[in-house]
Every structure is written in structure tokens, then in C-alpha cells.
Amino acid sequence: MPHYHAYYESHTEEQFAADEYFQQWVLAENRANNHFWSTFLQRYPDKFDDVLDARRLVKELAISPYSDMPLSSNEKKELKDSIYLKLQLEDTVVSADDGRKKRTLIYGMLAAAAVLIVAAGLYLFIPSPVKESPLLTEHTLIKEIKEITLPDGSVVVLNANSSLKYSAHFSEDSTRVVYLTGNAYFKVKKMSGHRPFIVHADQLSIRVTGTEFNVNARTKATDIVLTSGRVNVTLKDDSRSTAYMEAGERLKLDTLKHRFVTTAANTELYTTAWKEKEWHFQETTLDNIAELIREYYGMDMVFTNSAQQKLMITAIVSVNDFSTLINVIAKTLNIKIKEEENNQLLIY
């Protein structure tokens, strides 16, 4: 049976516990199945409690999980029946004479099933592993910007000193997944069949279906600017921490308090950079421009005094020509900009 996340979307606790691939994850965890179920919980955080309870139940019934022999069809059925019986009995409540309620627990069949597993030297293991697809990688150098068209028609503007990885079978996968290091602007194509598009960027997972947004993952304090559509953002190590973004918002991860901070954003700086290959500065402060240069080119502006940060510029500058950008800024603001080592630009 193929394993895809949407198949488990409506599963109940008992259905998870009786599922063979779920049992393999609980009792014989490996990189492939752990990635599958971790991603599932990121996509369906409301299933967290059902998955947790199902894991406990499978572990309770699997008395000897390290044997070499898989269960036969009849033995699998007996184990599933035991799981269903266990769950049904735990939900059964009867009233006593004193009005207090207690749970009716019957362990006969459960014990018999456990003895069967131990005596036969069996364990829950599914012999059809999920193979991870090889990843293709795109990367850029300092000051280099590359436009990438993914197999589904989505476009990624990969900014300087960044990398993007995606499956070699990207167009066939039920979920479109990419891994970003650095900075990129995404224009995600909406697909029929609701095939989600997920960007893994440092500590965050960003889930969309069709929209445009910028992701800056050069540091742990990853931030996202949403120019159109909607997305939800989830912490990888806590699937219950999810933020929902609207167009025109900027979301940043506060690494100290481990929470999301949302503010308004000037999305035009990002849309013109992607659509027209140029920045439209309208009384834009040099401090804001420094932030864009850091995101797009991987270069840090170093100010010699705080007054420089407040200088404003109005101009239209090509995104693809770094030298022209620096010259325009320097001449317009009557300042000098010197390129230093360690990818720094000294303002003086």
C-alpha cells in the first residue's frame, strides 16, 4: 500500500494503532518512517493526541519487538482485534451502586495476544520500507542571483550565497517539499488535487498551496514576508506552535522567547524585485536597504555611525547588478561604500 499523508488525515486512534506502517514506525523506527510521520504531524497537528495514544497502545501490546519473524496474516488480524478490543473496553463506563463510575477492563484476550507474540518470537514489522528520493541541489555564490523553475512550474528566485534542495521526483510526489538555506523568493503554482508545497527553512516549516513569499533563513531568526495568498508556519520541534499569515505581513521567529512575531511589511520591495528585476526605493532608509542587501546578496553593511542608517533614497535600481546598486546608493547619498573581507560593506 502506498504511504501518503492525506491517507491518514481522517484516521482515529484505533486505526493508527492497527495500521502496519504506523506500527513499523513505533517499533522499528528508521530515518524514512520517522521523516514521514514527523511531516504528517506538522501538516495535521490536530492528530497529535491520537498519534500519541496510538503509539502507547502499540508499545503496550508489542511485548517482544525485536524478533526476526514478521507476523502472519492471521496473527496480524488477531493483534488488530486485540487493539480494537482494548480501545473499546477502555471507553466503556458502567455505574456502580454508589453512583461512582469506573472503567471495565478485560485483559484475557489481550494477555493471550501478548503470549502469542512472545511464544512465536514475533514482532510488528512491515517489510515494505519507504525509500527516500534523491535530492537535487541548486546553489548560488556571493552576489549571484538565480531564477529556478521547479518541475511543477513554481518559480524560486534563489538569492546570493543560498541553496535549495528538492526531490528528483518532485513532480510526482503527493507533497511538494523543498529545503532552503539562505534566502529566496517563492512564487508557488497552485496545483489540482490540493498538492501542498512545503518549505523547510532552518527551524520552520512553511505550508502553502499557491502564493508568493520571501523567506530569509540566513540565521536562526528566520523571517518570512508574504506578498500574496496565505500560508501557515510551524516550528519543526513543536508541531503545535503554528502561525497563520495573511498577505502584507512579515513573520519573524524570536529565538529567545521561541515564539512568532508578526508585523506589517512593505511587500512592494519584494514583488518588484521578482517581477521587474529591480528595486523601487521610495524614501527607503539605508537601514532597510542594508537588510535587503543582506537577504539578497549575503553582504552585511557596517555603519560607522547611527545617522547613516536613517539616510533615505528614492531610486529604481536593478536587482541583478550589484555594482550598479552600490554605486547608485553611494552617489545618491553622497557616501562611500567599501567592500571589505568577510562579505562586509563598510559605510563611511
Same domain as 185, residue 148:
yes
Rounded distance between C-alpha atoms, residue 310 and residue 285, angstroms: 5
Domain boundary among 268, 288, 316: 268
Which of 268, 302, 333 delimits the end of a domain?
268
What does the pLDDT read at residue 94?
37
- Are 299 and 329 spatial neighbours (Cβ–Cβ below 8 Å)? no
**What's the number of domains the chain is made of?**
3
Whichever domain contains 291, its CATH number is 3.55.50.30
Instruction: Indicate if 250 and 139 belong to the same structural domain.
Output: yes
Same-domain status, 263 and 288: no
262 and 289 part of one domain: no
Q: How many CA atoms lie within 13 A of 233 on its CB side?
A: 26
Domain termination residue (choose one: 123, 143, 158): 123
One domain, residues 149 and 239: yes
Same structural domain for residues 264 and 141? yes
Same domain, 115 and 144: no
- List helix spans (H) across 301-344: 306-309, 322-333
Question: CA-CA distance, 126 to 36, in Å (whole number)?
Answer: 15
* Residue 169, domain extent: 135-268
Q: Which helix (H) or strand (E) holds 177?
A: strand 176-187
| 130 in a structural domain | no
The pLDDT tens digits along the chain (348 residues) read: 456 788 888 888 888 888 888 888 888 777 777 778 877 887 787 787 788 888 877 777 764 343 334 445 555 555 555 555 554 544 443 333 443 333 333 333 333 344 333 333 433 333 444 455 688 999 998 888 899 999 999 999 998 889 999 998 888 888 899 999 999 999 999 887 677 899 999 889 999 877 899 999 988 889 999 999 989 999 877 767 889 999 999 999 888 888 899 999 988 888 888 778 888 888 999 998 998 888 888 889 999 998 999 999 998 888 878 888 899 899 989 999 998 888 899 999
Long-range contacts of 85-94 (CB under 8 A, 24+ apart): 85/109, 85/110, 86/57, 86/61, 86/110, 87/13, 87/14, 87/17, 87/57
Query: Is the same domain home to 161 and 253?
Result: yes
**What is the pLDDT at residue 84?**
54
> How much is the pLDDT for 96?
38
